[in-house]
Amino acid sequence: MSWIFLAALGLLAAWWIFLALRRLDPRVWRRGLRWGIGGVLAVVALAALALRRIDMAMVVGAVAASVLLRGRIGQFSFDTIAGSGGGNVSKVRSRYLAMELDHDTGALTGRIVDGRFAGWDLMDLGPVETRALIEEVGHDADSVSLLENWLDANRAGWREYFAQEDAGAGPSASAQSHRDPIAEAYAVLGLQPGASDDEIKTAHRELMKGVHPDRGGSEYLAARINEARDVLLRR
């Protein structure tokens, strides 16, 4: 009877572990499984090496390295466990847009389901189409919110870009054609005309510290600062 009792305890323990794993964030237990299996394989490889089984140590060691460093065994990836069913993807839909948020990667994707650009992926929109879409969905609060979230995640600096375009739309075409790009470049970098190359490079470096996209800054402003530097260094 003792073996029946032990088997019942084993089943209860397995069931408890299963329930505990279900409550955990899939990313947590996938990571634990990956490092657990990789660690066991690494120990086996070291043991084989100690026993002078060089061939086994090389094979098992290569598999352990692949698991620990890449999270893969051949075509199998630990990142896909329990993820193929779409449980880690949130889907939201409004009148004009359908969005998907991948919780594992943080990627936000979207497509247009109604209106002038129906069927388009948001990634395919250029500045002109994006502005037209903003105007088209402006009366639908849900679509506006989704679109702004997508733009914030995938088009950093879009507000500044369109604001700058709007600010530059005021002067007449003839006035814009007579704008001095050199004077504008000096103004962007906050320099006086005649500044040396070293002063230009120093001003560019200091300004980029605050607006570089890798640090959460604006892509548009970073592009303007880079353009100003290039214009002045080529003058």
Tell me: the pLDDT tens digits for 128-156? Answer: 888 899 999 999 988 998 898 888 888 87
How far, in Å, CA of 72 to CA of 74, rounded? 6
Tokens 């003839």 locate to 174
Q: What is the mean pLDDT of residues 175-189?
A: 72
pLDDT bucket at 176, cuts 50 / 70 / 90: very low
Average pLDDT across the chain, whole number: 75
The residues facing 91 across adjacent strands are: 100
In the predicted model, is pLDDT for residue 92 greater than 70?
Answer: yes
Beta strands in 46-134 (DSSP E): 72-73, 76-77, 89-93, 97-102, 108-112
SS3 121: strand
Q: What is the mean pLDDT of residues 3-20?
A: 61
pLDDT at 17: 62
pTM of the shown model: 0.40
In the predicted model, is pLDDT for residue 82 greater than 60?
Answer: no
Domains delineated in the chain: 2-80 (no CATH), 89-155 (no CATH), 172-234 (1.10.287.110)
pLDDT at 212: 61
- Choose the weakest-confidence range: 150-159, 173-182, 191-200: 173-182
pLDDT at 52: 83
Of 47, 37, 34, whose CA–CA distance to 77 is shortest?
Answer: 34
Give the model confidence (pLDDT) of 94-119 as tens digits: 999 998 877 667 778 889 999 988 99
